[in-house]
Structure 1
Amino acid sequence: MLLSKEAQLTENSYYEASVTRPGPAPALREPIRVDVCVIGAGFAGLSAALELRAKGYTVAVLEAKTAGWGASGRNGGQAIVGYASDDAIEAQFSAEDARQAWQITVEALQLLRSRIAQHAISCDFVPGFLNLAINAKKGRELAQASDNIRQRYNYPLQSISPAEIGNWIDSKRFHSGSFDPQSGHLHPLKYCLGLAEAAKLAGVQIFENSAVLQLRRGSQVRVKTAQAELVCDFAVLAGNVYLNEFSHKLAPELNKRIMPVGTYIIATEAMEPQRAEALIRQRCAVCDNNFVLDYFRPTADHRMLFGGRVSYSAATPRNLVSSMRQRMLNVFPQLGDLKVIYAWGGFVDISMNRAPDFGRLDHNIYYLQGFSGHGLALTGMAGKLVADSIAGQAERFDLLARVKHYPFPGGKLMRTPALVLGMLYYQIKDLL
């Protein structure tokens, strides 16, 4: 089971160690009736709940574990414009519709910042994102992609030449890059818990340790947990890879559209502030442009947080800490004296084309998934778009719902081995 494997990885999370969680919300124990039930207390679900409550709906959020327990509380903390892959959207949409889809991600960054300010969420937000190439070939690919973004979407990316790269990062690993001043990074669990608190203050009912066991569809949706039943007019499924973990009958048609991918992160002991600041200009978030990429950033307390080793088999890699530390030292050999204090991981959901997968199962059941590791900002907009759609303004939700998605090949038994082989191909390509 995914949950049993992942539970072992959350025991040494820097994020969990650096927050003080509030007391647990109650479980759903009595029958209730609300306008909208949201399943999942991560970024997408809490965002939807906030937006729906602001529109006057009564809202309940059902969470199987605790707020931010899934990907929202374990990810790399990078809030980045665009999609994990723009190819599917550009191939399927007209130029104007592609521009509208891109603008949704720009608005996602604006929404994230406005929520931090509006709800006074202390989550260590730092603006600035560096996308870096490790060699000349990757540099040409990155330059072409950056030019495409500037020309198609009029989005301000700054190119970084090989001669300039040393002014941005104290590492000899990188050839060239681009800088995005609007994207950035934050402490994702602090942000998620801040959203949960804001939702509670707005009147959203949040029930933790309330796994949904059955979803009965109809003109009214009936949502059953182990202890009680909730009746609602609309349901929003925001559980991503965990949606069918407790009951495979919630939305079985969505299972084949996404795959769980394990991603892993380490954090070093704290270093002197001046030393941390010398590593990356403006303390930006960083990732490379490999298909199987590394991503890293400094934390507010001057640690290096480094992620990137992935598992497409849902099994935790062997020698995780030592292999992740070596990946970090390949970028920053000067950090060899620092101990790795934290190591953790979790699952993100990816779609076949790495584009978001939004839609409806029935007229009153919405789903949000397929963020493909690029969802910290986009999840917020996903919640806003689904709330707008429930309120009768569905144009932008329907725009993204038009993206065509295909099942992973291989069926239930073979799709994971097939994905492992496919990712091995891309890992080899990254080395060429």
Structure 2
Amino acid sequence: MNFLSADRELTRHSYYAATAVRDARYSALEGEASCDVAIVGGGLAGLSAAMELAERGFSVRVLEAREVGFGASGRNGGQAIHGLACDIEVIEQQLGVAEAQRVFRMSIEALELIRARCTRFGIDADWRDGFLGVATSPRKARELLAGAEQLATNYDYPMHAIPRAELPRWIESPRYVAGVHDPKSGHLHPLKYTLGLARAAAGLGATIHELTPVTALDTRGARPVLHTERGRVTARQVLLAGNVYLQGIAPQIESRIMPVGTYIIATAPVGETLARRLIPTLSAVCDNDFILDYYRFAADTSMLFGGRVSYSTTTPMNLAESMRKRMVAALPALAEAKVTHAWGGFVDISMNRAPDFGRLPSCPDVYYLQGFSGHGLALTGMAGKLVAEAISGDAGRFDTFARIRHRPFPGGKLLRTPALVLGMAWYRLRDALA
């Protein structure tokens, strides 16, 4: 697909790539190999699974087409937030309240898992506690506060509700009319974290191969085989954790996700005084519009501001300037801040924004994790743990997610992107009218 070349070019300008040290390189696969579990994708989900499986005594090989953390895992907004990308009602309607509560508890466990791994493996990923959800209109404020009340009442997850009069104590912005603060969620440097997980996985015994794109998956024999440009791997079981980068090797699941471009800018450091004036808690911030803005101050006080999206796989024109204007509209005090980096890339979204985990119907020995829908920084790590539990013989928690139903995007390969573009135009208009 043509988005791959754009993705490669955009990622080159990442603030994260400029501020993380790649102190380990992993050789490409040459020739034939065999293992217990082969994992396609060297991002957070694949590396998490590799760690968990290697620690359980499985022989593991990770096949990464480019570099560890090249995809969304290493260039996202850095926000680790409770819950899923979809509203919890989506899970309630399909699985019932009790199972929805179980899913939500796993999303909180995912946050705890990040902290535990950083501590255990000495990963300095600039973690900071705190998430601030904000609303841009009275209607959105009602939705935000009602959602927070539901989580407190039905999911035992209280957050601090912030009425408009109290907002200046939390954020200096003219845009917002209400907010909620969650001290358990937080933010970090995603590439530093991903590289740290790779070091941990290798230290636990997993073999990682970079520059090893998988060209085909063959499930016709007794064991699945992954073919690469210069070799092949035979495995007892396979995990597909490449999301939008699987590129045709599993068409039966790829129709259920779509590549969506997301974009972020970084400013030069603005200093601790201004940063704390604008966001006193230095929490990550995200609004609840359908086409949303999300931002945070990095450890060096650079503002990282994301918000523009592309549903057509075409990079927006004048990306840095258009993003700067969005940033200044939310935080006018940053009008003079210099934009130093502008980058982006593609994430996978599902139709209902719920994560899509399961096994290939044609081969139950092939597991897959996809559909994180832009909310995967924490959940990817938990997903890797769940699939490791399933491969180890305890599939109860994995199968809770696997029971969530998903539909392919309508229109097939030719029409599904134009249909999505039209749908998103409607949501933009609805947000604007609100």
* TM-score, with length taken from structure 1: 0.98
Q: Which residue of 2 aligns with 1:105?
A: 107
SS at 1:8 equivalent: helix
Letter in 2 for 1:349: D
Q: State whether residues 257 and 352 of structure 1, in contact with CA within 8 Å, keep that contact through their aligned partners in structure 2.
A: yes
User: Offset of 1:215 from its aligned partner?
Assistant: 0.9
Q: Which residue of 1 aligns with 2:239?
A: 236
Separation in 1, partners of 2:222, 2:295? 47
SS at 1:67 equivalent: coil
Letter in 2 for 1:146: A
Q: Which residue of 2 aligns with 1:223?
A: 226
Overall identity of the aligned pairs, in %: 53
Separation in 2, partners of 1:7, 1:208? 15
Q: Which residue of 2 aligns with 1:302?
A: 301
Separation in 1, partners of 2:271, 2:349? 37
User: Offset of 1:319 from its aligned partner?
Assistant: 1.1
User: Offset of 1:104 from its aligned partner?
Assistant: 0.8
Separation in 2, partners of 1:92, 1:34? 36
SS at 2:367 equivalent: strand
Separation in 1, partners of 2:399, 2:24? 38
Q: Aligned runs of 1:339-358 on 2, under 5 Å?
A: 339-358=338-357
Q: Which residue of 2 aligns with 1:143?
A: 145
Q: Aligned runs of 1:147-158 on 2, under 5 Å?
A: 147-158=149-160
User: Offset of 1:23 from its aligned partner?
Assistant: 4.3
Letter in 1 for 2:245: Y
Q: Aligned runs of 1:245-394 on 2, under 5 Å?
A: 248=248, 250-361=249-360, 362-394=363-395
Moved over 2 A (4+): none
Q: State whether residues 41 and 68 of structure 1, in contact with CA within 8 Å, keep that contact through their aligned partners in structure 2.
A: yes
Q: State whether residues 24 and 199 of structure 2, in contact with CA within 8 Å, keep that contact through their aligned partners in structure 1.
A: no
- RMSD over aligned Cα, in angstroms? 0.8
User: Offset of 1:13 from its aligned partner?
Assistant: 0.7
Separation in 2, partners of 1:87, 1:268? 37
In terms of mean alpha carbon deviation, does 26-35 or 123-132 score higher? 26-35
Separation in 2, partners of 1:49, 1:326? 41
Q: State whether residues 88 and 403 of structure 1, in contact with CA within 8 Å, keep that contact through their aligned partners in structure 2.
A: no
Separation in 1, partners of 2:58, 2:406? 31
Separation in 2, partners of 1:102, 1:199? 27
Q: State whether residues 129 and 180 of structure 1, in contact with CA within 8 Å, keep that contact through their aligned partners in structure 2.
A: yes
Separation in 2, partners of 1:45, 1:293? 28
In terms of mean alpha carbon deviation, does 25-34 or 75-84 score higher? 25-34
User: Offset of 1:196 from its aligned partner?
Assistant: 0.3
Q: State whether residues 44 and 238 of structure 1, in contact with CA within 8 Å, keep that contact through their aligned partners in structure 2.
A: yes
Letter in 2 for 1:346: G
Q: Which residue of 1 aligns with 2:213?
A: 211
SS at 1:365 equivalent: strand
Separation in 1, partners of 2:54, 2:178? 45
Letter in 2 for 1:282: T
Q: Aligned runs of 1:76-155 on 2, under 5 Å?
A: 76-85=77-86, 86-155=88-157
Q: State whether residues 148 and 158 of structure 2, in contact with CA within 8 Å, keep that contact through their aligned partners in structure 1.
A: no
User: Offset of 1:30 from its aligned partner?
Assistant: 2.5
Letter in 2 for 1:136: P
**Gap runs ≥5 in structure 1:** none
- 1:353-387 CA distances to partner (integer Å, 9 max, x unpaired)? 00000000122100000000000000001000000
**Gap runs ≥5 in structure 2:** none
SS at 1:164 equivalent: helix
Separation in 2, partners of 1:171, 1:183? 21
Separation in 1, partners of 2:254, 2:383? 19
Q: Which residue of 1 aligns with 2:189?
A: 187
SS at 1:415 equivalent: helix
Separation in 1, partners of 2:182, 2:59? 38
SS at 1:364 equivalent: strand
Q: State whether residues 43 and 73 of structure 2, in contact with CA within 8 Å, keep that contact through their aligned partners in structure 1.
A: yes
Separation in 2, partners of 1:199, 1:11? 25
SS at 1:262 equivalent: strand
Separation in 2, partners of 1:425, 1:151? 32
Separation in 1, partners of 2:423, 2:112? 35
User: Offset of 1:87 from its aligned partner?
Assistant: 3.0
Q: Which residue of 1 aligns with 2:42?
A: 41
Separation in 2, partners of 1:281, 1:370? 34
User: Offset of 1:290 from its aligned partner?
Assistant: 0.2
Separation in 2, partners of 1:219, 1:76? 42
**Equivalences, count:** 428
SS at 1:398 equivalent: helix
Separation in 2, partners of 1:375, 1:324? 23
